[in-house]
Amino acid sequence: MAKAKVVFVMGATGTGKSRLAIDLALHFGGEVVNSDKMQIYDGLHVITNKVTDEERQGVPHHLLGCLPPDADFTAADFRAEATRAVESVARRDRLPIVAGGSNSFIEELVEGAGREFRRRFECCFLWVDVHLQVLHRFVAERVDGMVARGLVDEARALFDPDAVADYSRGVRRAIGLPEMDRFLRAEAEDAGEAAKAELMKAAVDEIKANTSKLTCCQLQKINRVCGSFGWHVRKVDATDVFAKSGAEADAAWEELVVGPSVDFVAEFLQR
Ligand code: ATP
C-alpha cells in the first residue's frame, strides 16, 4: 500500500509559515498540525503569535492551544501526539500539513524512535525563507504591534507577584513573559510612572532582541537538521513580500511563495 503523504512547512518566526500552511490546506484540502512548542499551550494568543479564527479560514488546526500553561510537553510527547494527528487527517483522505518553528520537535517527529514516522509516511519539506536583516526589522515592528494588541495584559494575567519567578517550564518560557517580569513587579509595588516607563521600554527592547536571536537559532537549526538527515527541502524566498504592503504584498505573496509551493506540493502528491 502507498504511504500517506505529509507536507512540512518550516522557517524562522515571522516568515509566514502559518499563512502558507493555511493557503496550502485550502488549495489541497488539508489540515494543519502545529509544530510551534509555545503555540501548543492554551492562551497567550498575542505573545505566541497564534493565527486568529479569521486567519484560519475554517482550516482545522491540531495541537494548537490544547495544553494548560504549566504542562510539560517533550519532543517525544510531540512525536506521539503529532503522529496521532497526522494519522487522523490522512485517514480522512485529507493532506496533513505540519507547520511551526520548533525544529527539535520536527526532527524528533521525523527522525526519532527508529524513524517509525518515515516508514509510515512520505514527507516533503518547504522552507519559507526571508533575508535576516529584513526579518529582524519585521519582528521588531511585530513586537510593537503585539504591545498594541495586548501583550502586557497577557503577561499580567500569568504573573504572580508573590511567587518565585520560574520561567523555565511550560508556556512561561515564551519570549514575552520573562522579559516583562521586572516591569510587572514594579507595577505590583506601585513604582512611579517614570520608573515603570523605563522598565517597559527595556522589556520591549529585550523582547525584540530575543526574538531576533530566536530567528538566528531557528535558521541554524533548519540548516543543521536538513543537512544532517539529507532532507530534500524546497526553499521559497519571501523577502520581497516584506518590502510591500497591502494588496501589493498579497499579490507578491501569491506569486513568490504560494505559487512555487503549490507547484512543489502538487508534484510531490503526484509522485
Ligand atoms: P530549543 O531546543 O532551543 O527549545 P526548538 O527548535 O525546540 O529549540 P524553538 O521553536 O526554536 O524550539 O523555540 C525555542 C524557544 O523560543 C522556546 O523555548 C521559547 O522560549 C521561544 N519561542 C518559540 N516559539 C515561540 C512563540 N511562538 N512565542 C514565544 N516564544 C517562542
In ligand 1, the atom with minimum distance to the C-alpha of 102 is 10
The protein residue whose alpha carbon is closest to atom 13 in ligand 1 is 102
> Quick one: pLDDT at residue 163?
84
**Which of 9, 73, 110, 175 has most ligand 1 atoms within 8 Å of CB, for mutation?**
175
In ligand 1, the atom with minimum distance to the C-alpha of 100 is 10
pLDDT tens digits, residue range 239-251? Answer: 999 999 999 999 9
Residues of the chain with pLDDT under 70: none
**Which of 38, 51, 206 has most ligand 1 atoms within 8 Å of CB, for mutation?**
38
Concatenating the DSSP letter of every residue in the chain gives -PPEEEEEEEE-TTSSHHHHHHHHHHHHTEEEEE--TTTTBSS-TTTTTPPPHHHHTT--EESSS-B-TT----HHHHHHHHHHHHHHHHHTT-EEEEE-S-HHHHHHHHHHHHHHHHHHEEEEEEEEE--HHHHHHHHHHHHHHHHHTTHHHHHHHH--TTSPP--SSGGGGSTTSGGGHHHHHHHHTT--HHHHHHHHHHHHHHHHHHHHHHHHHHHHHHHHHHHHHT--EEEEE-GGGGG--HHHHHHHIIIIIIHHHHHHHHHHHH-
Separation of alpha carbons 41 and 48, rounded Å = 9
**Which of 74, 102, 106 has most ligand 1 atoms within 8 Å of CB, for mutation?**
102
C-alpha cell at 207: 523582547
User: What is the sign, positive or negative, of the torsion defined by CA atoms of 92, 225, 141, 176?
Assistant: positive
> Quick one: pLDDT at residue 162?
86
Q: What φ, ψ does residue 234 adopt, rounded to 5°?
A: -100, 120
Q: Where are the domains of the chain?
A: 4-130+222-270, 136-210
Measuring CA to CA, how many Å separate 170 from each of 40, 88, 166, 196, 209?
10, 26, 10, 27, 22
> Quick one: pLDDT at residue 164?
82
Q: Tell me the pairing of strands 233-237 and 61-62.
A: unpaired
Q: What is the largest CA-CA distance in the chain?
A: 69
- Does the CB atom of residue 214 touch ligand 1 within 6 A? yes
| Global model pTM greater than 0.90 | yes
For domain 4-130+222-270, give the CATH superfamily: P-loop containing nucleotide triphosphate hydrolases (3.40.50.300)
Q: What φ, ψ does residue 226 adopt, rounded to 5°?
A: -65, -40
> Quick one: pLDDT at residue 243?
95
C-alpha count within 13 angstroms, C-beta hemisphere, residue 211: 28
Q: Using only C-alpha atoms, what is the Rg of the chain?
A: 19
Separation of alpha carbons 179 and 154, rounded Å = 13
In ligand 1, the atom with minimum distance to the C-alpha of 105 is 7
CB distance 139 to 212 below 8 Å = yes
For cell 527595556, the residue is: 202
Compute the distance from residue 253 Cα to the ligand 1 centre, in Å.
25
Beta bridge partners, 233, equal 125
**ipTM for the complex shown:** 0.97
In ligand 1, the atom with minimum distance to the C-alpha of 39 is 27
> Quick one: pLDDT at residue 1?
76
